[in-house]
Amino acid sequence: MVESSPDNSSNFLKRMEQAWLISQQPRPVACSSCDSNGHVECKWCGGTGFFILGDNMLCQVPSRNSSCVICAGKGSTSCGDCKGTGFRAKWLEQPPVQ
């Protein structure tokens, strides 16, 4: 059985005040760089997953050796503006347009 005491009441009041203060903090906003999905197209391979030099692939036959080492052949990397979360702190504002 839980006993009611002034100490328990003051702890509860402090916890409720902290919860209220946390709830009033600015919420993160969706990242516009990655459309809130946390990933962007790899700039090294253009989203193909393979290294491309100019108009030609590094190797004519895609293999392990020609996979993009930056994105590990996935074609996308973690968004640098939101660090892969899909959200940015409101005080950071929007990233610069590139």
DSSP labels, 50-90: B-EETTEESSSS--GGGB-TTTTTSSEEE-TTTTTSSEE-G
Find where tokens 């009033």 sit.
24
Single-letter amino acid, residue 53: L
Domain ranges of the chain: 29-98
CA dihedral 33, 80, 75, 63 (to 10 degrees): 160
Q: Is residue 91's pLDDT more than 80?
A: no
What pTM did the predictor assign?
A: 0.55
End-to-end CA gap in the chain: 62
Which of 16-30, 45-59, 67-81, 82-96 has the lowest average pLDDT?
Answer: 45-59
